Amino acid sequence: MTNLRRRMLEDLQLGGYSNCTTESYISSVAAFARYHKKSPALCGREDVRNLAMYLQTKGLSSASVRLRLSGLKFFYARTLGSPEVMADLPLPKPRRKMPVVLSESEVHALLDALETPRMRMFFTLVYATGLRLREACVLETRDVQKERGVIHVRHGKGGKERFVTLSPRLHALLRAYYRQVRPTPPWLFSGRGGKPLHPDVAIKAMVVARRVARIEKPASTHTLRHSFATHLLEQGTDLRVIQVLLGHSSLQTTTVYTHVSSKLGAGVQSPLDRWPKDKTGGRKKTG
């Protein structure tokens, strides 16, 4: 490991960045060095600009380009102390896509299609609580707090902790699952070697289940989280409550579900319906 790489790792750890973000940022700088075939410490504004233009031609999404450039921005600003290298480089504007949401019947079909009790319980919990994939993978048995009716999320995005609702039905399902599967302590969903469930294992199980359930929507592990939020909104749950349950820092992030809900506009009276029945909006006929 080079001194620059070690120093950047230390800077990311001091900043409290998640393992996922740390890996992405480190990979971005390593790819930058390979692209220019020299140390990133010897690169300047034009080198960064050339890479940004190259990434655009590769057809990558704006989110992917932003992530790679954000890693470089952190490296130059924090590790090298040279923020001016990227000070004038504009980042691609994020394009917000509408999340994929499953109907309740599709959720039932998807969960039923999961082959093992562990995976079925895992994704049932994800849908019942709205947890992110990695948050659910590292849950411990002590995090399920029946007395308080909550699940303690200790490893939320950005290192933030929060509590989500533990419904009586979910608790009953978790008890039955635990008696049947006996996961390796302390994990609620254990993987090989006494480690927590690996996200890739869950992703593969979801791909198979979607095919078995014949769901044509591009559903992913994150789709159940989107479905959780949308279904709550449609049953009248306050948007701020959903924000807290999802662990969103900004309410603006949560408002995306108001655009995908199919029921929010149902029952709303159109201004046209308030017109007298003999009024059509057209020009009155004469003679």
Catalytic annotation, residues = 132, 157, 222, 225, 248, 257
Please name the residues in contact with 24: beta carbons below 8 A apart, sequence gap of 6 or more: 67, 71
Contact 213, 112 (CB under 8 A): yes
Please name the residues in contact with 266: beta carbons below 8 A apart, sequence gap of 6 or more: none
H or E segment at 8? Answer: helix 3-14
The CA distance from 201 to 243, in Å, is 28
Contact 78, 62 (CB under 8 A): no
Please name the residues in contact with 159: beta carbons below 8 A apart, sequence gap of 6 or more: 16, 18
Contact 234, 104 (CB under 8 A): no
| One-character DSSP codes across 156-186 | -GGG--EEEE--HHHHHHHHHHHHHH-PPTT
CB atoms within 10 A of CB 272: 9
What distances in angstroms separate CA 245 from CA 58, 162, 237, one per listed residue?
37, 8, 11
